[in-house]
A and B are shown apart, each in its own frame.
Chain A
Amino acid sequence: MKNGAKALLTLPPAVYLFLFFAVPGLLMLLASFRFPGDYGGLAPWYYVEDGAITFDLTLENWARLFETTLYLQLLLKSLLFAVLTTAICALLAYPLALTIAASPKKHRDLLILMVILPFWSNFLVRIYAWMIIFSPQGALTEGLNHITGLLGLEPVNLMFSSVAVITCLVYVHLPFMVLPLYANLEKHDPALLDAAQDLGATRAQRFWKVTWPLSLPGLYAGAVLVFIPTLGIFAIPDLLGGTNGIMIGNVIKQQFVESRDWPFGSVLSLVLTGITLVLVVLAGRLGRTPGALT
């Protein structure tokens, strides 16, 4: 009976995953071996001639991925951007989450609210705000160039650069790191720290031996939530990236929109999905390391 209830509970997510992940994934896999249609979409994958079925499939789209190193380089660059974004988010979010978790209970909700607050305005509006901040006429760039001028250095250009892209990626994804970390840190039993102190642990030891290992599952959860959307994003590099700031998501979007080459777009998407799956499984393994609270 207990098993039956369990199966019933897991049914909706399983159906969801089947319909919205497995089925589209398989469709894309088939699409990746087909030819693009004349005006977008896909060419028929078989045709019947004199009663005989001829298949019109190709390996060309997959071969194209490896013909030059361009696409692999771009994948590597996107991974680097995503890792960097995740690392910076973690560095910024950890102290913040720790501070919120350690503050008096009555203030915590307000502080968390302030973390989520930016979500209430449209994503694109926030990116456009950054475009103003980064523009050569903006106070930030002018101030910075005043300093570089004093030091006798070349003026810097922030707009349309990788710096602008990563700054915005961090800005947009920071709450996804703060929330799981906070949820984890808040649950820590303060008695553990008291016990450690009683046993003579210094402040640093208490952090590294108690808080840090206990917080790792929250950190991994946050890392996954930041890393995955960052890896596939295209809007931020589109608006702020300039000629060299693009990521793999831009090229995928380009295949489906401007180039109308769905097969090659499918190839790139599948590769990205594959990489993401491997990383999520890895993070899941890490998250279950012994010593972690469940």
Chain B
Amino acid sequence: MKKLVTAVVLSLTALVSPAQAQKTLNLFNWNDYIADETVARFEQQCDCKVVQDYFSSTEEMMAKLLAGGGDYDVVIPTQNAVEALIKQGFLMPLDKSKLGNVKNMGPGFMNRSYDPGNQYSLPYAFTTTLIGYNENKLQELGIDPSDWRVIFDPTILAKIKGKVTVMDDSEELIAAALKYLGYSVNDTNEQHLKEAQAVILKAKPFWAAFNSSSYIKELTVGNIWVAHGYSSDMFQARSDAQEAGRPFTVGFVLPKQGAVLALDNMVIPKKARSPELAHQFINFMMAPENAAELTNIVGTGNPNAEAKRLIEPEILAINAIFPSEEQLKTLETISARNSKERRFTSRLWTEIKVR
């Protein structure tokens, strides 16, 4: 037994690596939301190490930040979370003198109502929340994926039972159900929200899972045929499936009823340990070649005007990533709900999960 204990202790000590003397940038980001190449280039340029933590929903990120968890240098929140974080006094004002690349940003994405004058935040990328699908399977079954019915209508779901995942995210899923019903994603009418809950509960028995973190893999492998998720994730599922030489292609499309548009931003928390490095990172991400990689490799929409010319034209042509003027009219950003509304929706959500 003594030998056993020694073996355990030895193997544990081997796991503890020597302390790092290098500077570290702690980045709190959405999963799969920056290219490895970009991270590597930044590490080389700043002679530092980037440590990433991931989240898969705004609620999850807010809960962790506001409970005091993690001293991050840069966080990538969506517009409604930026608004809430500013109200909480959680963010550090940005020092524009260190951010020369601001000039590259497209004017349409600057000075928005959630942060007038971009005092605390600068745009990073944008995505839409839509439907990713297995093109071959849906064609075989004659199902039209460009309609929220594909995840909410039981008559259609009956054909793809157990092959559908929806986001494990109260904001996104309730927003999708509201759109399906023809309401605004920011509808606060309790009756309308209850209708959305009823839609979700009716469709739930046909879904395989609530999933916000591994649907890329499930789509790529072919386990799932329809997934509700972010445009950038679907882009990756498609390229992964292509690279793996799967006998099917993954497609993605904006539902015709409209969908959620998310503007993600770079912010620095007040208690960041290396604000200097954080500014360096933000400036780095606004350089055209780095911003372009977000689109070319990760598949996000891009708020950087100068990066446009470096973006592959076939990606620029994808409507689900760069929506047309026409489609933009059907897209909505989610705004922050007040505490009473939040309590109401979170209660609906708990009931959805438990039932």
A interface, CB within 8 angstroms of B: 36-41, 68, 70-71, 73-74, 109, 112-113, 120, 131, 135-137, 157, 159-160, 241-243, 246, 250-251, 254-261, 264
Contact = CB atoms under 8 A, between A and B. Distances in A.
Contacts of B66: 39-41, 260
Nearest to A258: B59
Contact of A256 (B57, B63, B204, B353): B63
Given A39-B88, A135-B221, A243-B205, A71 B354 contact: yes
B346 A261 contact: yes
Given A40-B62, A243-B207, A259-B59, 14 more contacts: A36-B339, A36-B343, A38-B339, A39-B62, A68-B351, A70-B354, A73-B354, A160-B208, A242-B207, A243-B208, A258-B63, A259-B170, A259-B349, A261-B346
A68 B338 CA distance: 25
Contacts of A251: 350, 353-354
B11 interface: yes
Contacts of B59: 257-260
B67 interface: yes
B181 interface: no
A159 B207 CA distance: 12
B60 A136 contact: no
A236 to B, nearest CB: 13
Given A38-B339, A70-B355, A260 B223 contact: no
B60 A257 contact: yes
B86 to A, nearest CB: 12
A48 B351 CA distance: 36
Contacts of A131: 214
Nearest to A134: B223
Contacts of B346: 258-261
Contacts of B354: 70-71, 73-74, 246, 251
Interface string B60-74: 101110110000000
Contacts, number: 92
Contacts of B3: 109
* Most chain B CB atoms below 10 A, which of A39, A68, A73: A39
Which 3 pairs between the two chains have the least Cβ-Cβ distance? A259-B346, A258-B59, A38-B339
B16 interface: no
B19 interface: no
Contacts of B349: 254, 258-259
Contacts of B205: 243
Nearest to A241: B209
B1 interface: yes
Contacts of B88: 39
Contacts of A264: 350
Interface in B315-355: 338-339, 342-343, 346-347, 349-351, 353-355
A37 B349 CA distance: 18
B353 A260 contact: no
Interface of B: 1, 3-4, 11, 57, 59-60, 62-64, 66-67, 84, 88, 162, 169-170, 204-205, 207-210, 214, 221-223, 338-339, 342-343, 346-347, 349-351, 353-355
A250 B353 contact: yes
A68 B346 CA distance: 16
Contacts of A260: 59, 62-63, 66, 342, 346
B60 A113 contact: no
22 contacts: A39-B84, A70-B355, A74-B354, A120-B11, A131-B214, A135-B223, A136-B222, A157-B208, A242-B209, A243-B205, A243-B209, A251-B350, A254-B350, A257-B60, A258-B59, A258-B170, A258-B346, A259-B170, A259-B347, A259-B349, A259-B350, A260-B346
A256 B170 CA distance: 14
A131 B205 CA distance: 21
Nearest to B224: A136
Nearest to B58: A258
Contacts of B351: 68, 70
Contacts of A70: 351, 354-355
A237 to B, nearest CB: 11
Contacts of B347: 259
A109 B4 contact: yes
B145 to A, nearest CB: 20
B15 to A, nearest CB: 10
Given A41-B66, A70-B355, A157-B162, A242 B343 contact: no
A165 B204 CA distance: 19
Contacts of A241: 209
* Most chain A CB atoms below 10 A, which of B64, B169, B355: B355
B1 A261 contact: no
Contact of B209 (A37, A41, A113, A160): A160
A134 to B, nearest CB: 10
B349 to A, nearest CB: 7
B83 to A, nearest CB: 11
A239 B110 CA distance: 38
Nearest to B354: A70
Contacts of A159: 208, 223
Contact of B343 (A135, A246, A261): A261
A44 B60 CA distance: 23
Contacts of A256: 63
Contact of B350 (A41, A137, A255): A255
A252 to B, nearest CB: 11
Contacts of B355: 70
A71 B162 CA distance: 25
A216 to B, nearest CB: 24
A182 B185 CA distance: 58
